[in-house]
């Protein structure tokens, strides 16, 4: 979503690189580029003015003029100001001292509240909570059924006493839902309410009635991040009509410019608490202002990447794979297990996008085919257990059979097997502390032309003596052959332990004059 803004900000910083000191003109030009970048991203005008003003004021101060690298200091200032307008700190849910904790969702029609209710329930379930969904959206057709389906996918209880489609009293349903959760010992209740327009006073009053009836611990305003600057007006209308404690941004994976995320927290004073960035129920997490600012400035989000890896990777299985790598027993079955664990983390494109500096490879990431892992799985599943354990036995006829079984070509089977051997060799070398193959200073690195030229010339080798193909005869011949004297480690005449004779040294008198 923030691709356009990220690209524009990166361009604005290029002119600062390599400058030992920033002039007033440099600061003004950079501030102008930042202002244009924010306006193009649909950030509200008051937020743009405050942001650019703060950056210019700090850029003229001592923290930049006295810095060793002024350009990096300006980027640091922009990063800190972005964190500020995004809310400053990560805001977490407040749980009631006496369960259940009641969370009420409110927002516009089409913002994605019903799907988000199930996402939030699944997220809370992973936090060792026992959530229950309450279907209080009795206005929209099939809203109750949609919540039941999503609740079943998330594996959580759904309280839906009314069929909806315009039938039933949402205030009574919400009140009964809290009582049912208390009776069945659910510690969190999530109430899904009907979507409404900011100008619809009747529906606004209904939402206020639900709030008064259940006295929620948290009221979350769900907003579509793709609606641009109008999100601020809508957020303010809901704040005045219903009131809320935090904001949830949906559809952050869209192609809009993301101005809503940068405007709402600053304009309303209410923090963004959660972000939904995909269609899957797992595409949901806490909103971290510092991490979002880092992504916008193309500095990556390694903390989120590490958290996802910790949640999805089995530590014991990873340790066993490392042991197998060191012992040389790493097979295609182990490779498949690692691929499946990576797949659990979600979209590879999103994960790669969290690495610093990946903005310059955005076109390649956009063209990356996520189904490549599925194709690799199909190929490996078409192999016999023996072939997976020992890929060297896969000859031409076996490759042809595997290709037919997986629906791929023989060339793709060849590529997979060759890449597996190359990857295994590289990972074994890294696991044993050998470094990256081909990197300077790494064992086994091939010598370049200059290195070869500096080597001392070697005498041409003559024809070697004939060696018997019989191992027994070869051993006898080696035993009869007298051992060659060991070379002196210092390059002096004679082997180790030989008497040193100064007369054997070359004439060095010319160097002593």
In CATH, the architecture of 3-85 is Up-down Bundle (1.20)
Query: According to the annotation, is 328 in a ligand binding site?
Result: no
Average pLDDT over residues 104-112: 85
Average pLDDT, the chain: 76
194 is in an annotated binding site: yes
Predicted pLDDT of residue 346: 66
For residue 105, what pLDDT is reported? 92
pLDDT at 487: 45
Establish whether 126 is an annotated binding residue.
Answer: no
101-298: CATH number:
3.40.50.300
- Tell me the pTM: 0.63
> By three-state DSSP, how is residue 158 classified?
strand
- Binned at pLDDT 50, 70 and 90, residue 471 comes out as low
Pairing of strands 131-136, 218-224: unpaired
Q: Is 108 annotated as a binding residue?
A: yes
- Rounded to an integer, the average pLDDT of 101-105 is 94
Is 332 annotated in some ligand binding site?
no
Q: Is 478 annotated among the ligand-binding residues?
A: no
* pLDDT number for residue 500: 46
The answer to whether 262 is annotated as binding is: no
- Decide if pLDDT at 273 tops 70: yes
Residue 389's pLDDT is what?
A: 86
List pLDDT tens digits, range 424-452.
Answer: 787 777 666 544 444 444 343 333 333 34
Long-range contacts of the stretch 205-212 (C-beta < 8 A, 24+) = 206/170, 206/171, 207/106, 207/241, 207/242, 208/241, 208/242, 209/171, 210/104, 210/136, 210/170, 210/171, 210/174, 211/104, 211/242, 211/243
Topology adopted by domain 310-431: 434 Repressor (Amino-terminal Domain) (1.10.260)
Determine if residue 112 is labeled as part of a ligand binding site. yes
Span 214-226, average pLDDT: 88
pLDDT at 157: 93
CB-based contact 389:331 (threshold 8 Å): yes
pLDDT tens figures, 122-155: 999 988 999 999 999 888 888 899 999 999 999 9
Domain boundaries, the chain: 3-85, 101-298, 310-431
More confident residue, 384 or 314: 384
30 has binding-site annotation: no
Does pLDDT of 512 surpass 50? Answer: no
192 is in an annotated binding site: yes
| 25 assigned to a ligand binding site | no
Judge whether 107 is annotated as a binding position: yes
Which stretches of 345-484 are DSSP H helices? 348-353, 362-366, 372-381, 385-389, 396-406, 410-431, 449-454, 471-480
What does the pLDDT look like over 17-74, one tens digit per residue? 766 677 788 888 888 888 888 887 778 888 888 888 888 888 887 666 565 577 777 8
To the question of whether residue 434 is assigned a binding role by annotation, the answer is: no
Q: Is 42 annotated as a binding residue?
A: no
pLDDT, residue 16, reads 72
Those residues whose C-beta lies under 8 Å from the C-beta of residue 452, and which sit 6 or more positions away, are none
Q: Is 193 among the annotated ligand-binding positions? A: yes
């Amino acid at each position: 979503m923030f691709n356009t803004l990220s690209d524009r900000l990166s361009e604005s910083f290029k002119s600062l690189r390599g400058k030992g000191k920033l002039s007033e003109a440099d600061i003004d030009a950079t501030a102008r580029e930042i202002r244009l970048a924010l306006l193009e991203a649909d950030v509200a005008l008051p937020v743009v003015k405050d942001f650019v003003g703060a950056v210019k004021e700090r850029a003229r101060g001592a923290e930049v003029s006295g810095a060793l690298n002024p350009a990096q200091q300006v980027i640091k200032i922009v990063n800190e100001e972005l964190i500020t307008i995004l809310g400053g700190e990560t805001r977490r849910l407040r749980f009631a001292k006496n369960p259940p904790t009641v969370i009420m969702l409110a927002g516009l029609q089409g913002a994605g509240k019903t799907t988000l209710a199930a996402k939030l329930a699944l997220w809370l379930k992973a936090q060792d909570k026992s959530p229950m969904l309450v279907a209080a959206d009795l206005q929209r057709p099939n809203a109750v059924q949609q919540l039941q389906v999503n609740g079943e996918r998330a594996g959580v209880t759904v309280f839906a006493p009314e069929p909806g489609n315009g039938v039933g009293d949402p205030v009574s349903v919400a009140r009964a839902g809290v009582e049912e959760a208390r009776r069945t010992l659910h510690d969190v209740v999530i109430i899904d309410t009907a979507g409404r327009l900011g100008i619809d006073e009747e529906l606004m009053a209904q939402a206020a009635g639900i709030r008064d009836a259940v006295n929620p611990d948290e009221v979350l305003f769900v907003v579509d991040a793709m609606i641009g600057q109008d999100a601020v007006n809508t957020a303010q209308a809901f704040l005045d009509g219903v009131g809320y404690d935090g904001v949830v941004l949906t559809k952050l994976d869209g192609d809009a410019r993301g101005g809503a995320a940068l405007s709402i927290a600053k304009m309303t004073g209410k923090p963004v608490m959660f972000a939904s960035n995909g269609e899957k129920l797992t595409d949901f997490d806490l909103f971290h202002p510092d991490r979002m600012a880092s992504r916008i400035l193309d500095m990556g989000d390694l903390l989120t990447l590490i958290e996802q890896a910790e949640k999805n990777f089995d530590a014991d299985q990873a340790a066993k794979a490392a042991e197998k790598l060191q012992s040389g027993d790493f097979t295609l079955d182990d490779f498949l297990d690692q691929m499946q664990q990576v797949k659990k983390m979600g979209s590879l494109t999103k994960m790669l996008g969290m690495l610093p500096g990946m903005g310059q490879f955005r076109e390649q990431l956009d063209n990356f085919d996520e189904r490549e892992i599925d194709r690799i799985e199909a190929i490996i599943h078409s192999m016999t257990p023996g072939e997976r354990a020992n890929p060297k036995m896969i000859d031409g006829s076996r490759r042809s059979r595997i290709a037919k079984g997986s629906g791929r070509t023989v060339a793709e089977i060849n590529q997979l097997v060759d890449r597996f051997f190359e990857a295994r060799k590289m990972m074994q070398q890294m696991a044993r502390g050998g470094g990256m193959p081909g990197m300077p200073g790494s064992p086994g690195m091939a010598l370049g032309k200059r290195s070869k030229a500096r080597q001392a010339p070697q005498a041409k080798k003559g024809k070697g003596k004939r060696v018997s193909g019989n191992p027994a005869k070869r051993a006898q011949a080696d035993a009869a052959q007298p051992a060659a004297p060991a070379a002196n480690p210092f390059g002096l005449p004679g082997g180790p332990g030989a008497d040193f004779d100064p007369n054997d040294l070359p004439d060095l008198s010319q160097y002593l004059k």
